[in-house]
Amino acid sequence: MNVKELPPEIRAEIDPELAKPTRVHPIARSQYANLWIKREDELSSGISGGKLRKYASLIPYLKRQQIDTVGMIGGPNSNNLVGLAQLLRENGISPLAFLREAADPQLRGNALLLALLLAPHETETISRRSWDNVEGLARQRLQNLEKQGSRAHLLLEGCYGFPALLGTLTLPEDILRNERDCQQTFPRIYIDCGTGLSAIGLILGLERLLGSDSSNREVVVTLIAETESGFLEKLAEMRACLEKAYPVTHDSRVNIRFLQPILSPKFGSISKALFDECRTIARETGLIMDPTYSVKHFAAAAADHNKDGQSAAPSLFVFNGSALGICGFQDKLANSVNLLESD
């Protein structure tokens, strides 16, 4: 197999120290025949999975623009806010979080981590009533800071946007490296979707890297926090941005399919079955998965993959999350574990 890498003009936008290689391995349980895991959770100890790939192009972009203050938007349980707060701090950029008012008054999980990372003056709580207008409120606040001489930049929820897309193109590049290293091809790749940016980067990157071979690949997207039409709209938008910045000569397409979560399908919702599944996955595979994204993603993807039975072609499951994601649910998980103590 010949080596397929991103072109140097895209590479130049990405910090390779952040978008590091990660490994793949199969699940050692016969009921998951030929289901492999891409260990994006190992990119960082404190940042949820593939987020680091977005930051790998976003941070260099902010530094080039000499930004000193970054406005960021999200809910109290956002993995993105916790991850960004760490990297902005590391780079001497001041974070300013526009945080949706919490339904849960207790500081736990990501809300606790965020409170640990941000001083009170770096957080502005936006009431649920005003949340629809959060972008307007944030822009206004940043404009005021700019009048006082700051160079400020507002990031959308989940860092959705072109500067973060470029870093996500390193995921397909690294998957093709894994394929060369283990002499294995993955015709089907399962990925989860919040804003969809990581899945979009996977699709657009595969098309860039594989050209006309793209049609042999299928990307299956689990819609955790987005709709099919919303995803396709964003895919078209990012494709247009990428083609404008880095023109292509071929028109290649991967096949795309969508899955709805089976367990607690509504984004952010939880259930006993979800925590029981979290326990089952840990005991069967050794993977500690966050219930918000990865457990729902795994339940949907494994069921889809297993439909093909023991003769299934190798599929790759992108584990985008992190064990840190269980922090907010310790009491619920304790229940799931205790109930089965006798077996």
Ligand X SMILES: *Cc1c(COP(=O)(O)O)cnc(C)c1O
Residue ranges in contact with ligand X by CB under 6 A: 48-49, 51, 79-80, 158, 192-199, 290, 293-294, 320-321
Element spanning 38, H or E: strand 35-39
Q: Which is nearer to ligand X, 80 or 170 (CB)?
A: 80
Three-state secondary-structure class, residue 179: helix
Distance CA 159, CA 318 (A): 19
Considering the complex, state which of residue 54 and residue 141 has its C-beta at the smaller distance from ligand X: 54
Give SS3 for 308. coil
In terms of CB distance, is 50 or 71 closer to ligand X? Answer: 50
Would you say 215 or 226 has its CB closer to ligand X? 226
Least CB distance from residue 316 to ligand X, whole Å? 15
| Residue 326 C-beta: closest distance to ligand X, Å | 11
Residue type, 33: A
Residue 226, helix vs strand vs coil: coil
> Nearest residue by C-beta to ligand X?
194
Which residues, in sequence order, are CB contacts of 57 under 8 Å at separation 6+? Answer: 13, 14, 15, 163, 164, 165, 166, 167
| CA 322/CA 309 separation, integer angstroms | 28
Shortest reach from residue 222's CB to ligand X, in Å: 9
- Shortest CB 115 distance to ligand X, Å: 19
Neighbours of 89 (CB within 10 A): 13
Can you tell me the distance from the alpha carbon of 191 to that of 75, in angstroms, rounded to the nearest whole number?
22
CA dihedral 289, 50, 29, 221 (to 10 degrees): 100
CB of 339 to ligand X, least distance (A): 26
Q: Which is nearer to ligand X, 141 or 239 (CB)?
A: 239
Report the residue number, 112 or 312, with the smaller CB distance to ligand X.
112
Min separation Cβ 10 and ligand X, Å: 18
First-to-last C-alpha distance (Å) of the chain: 48
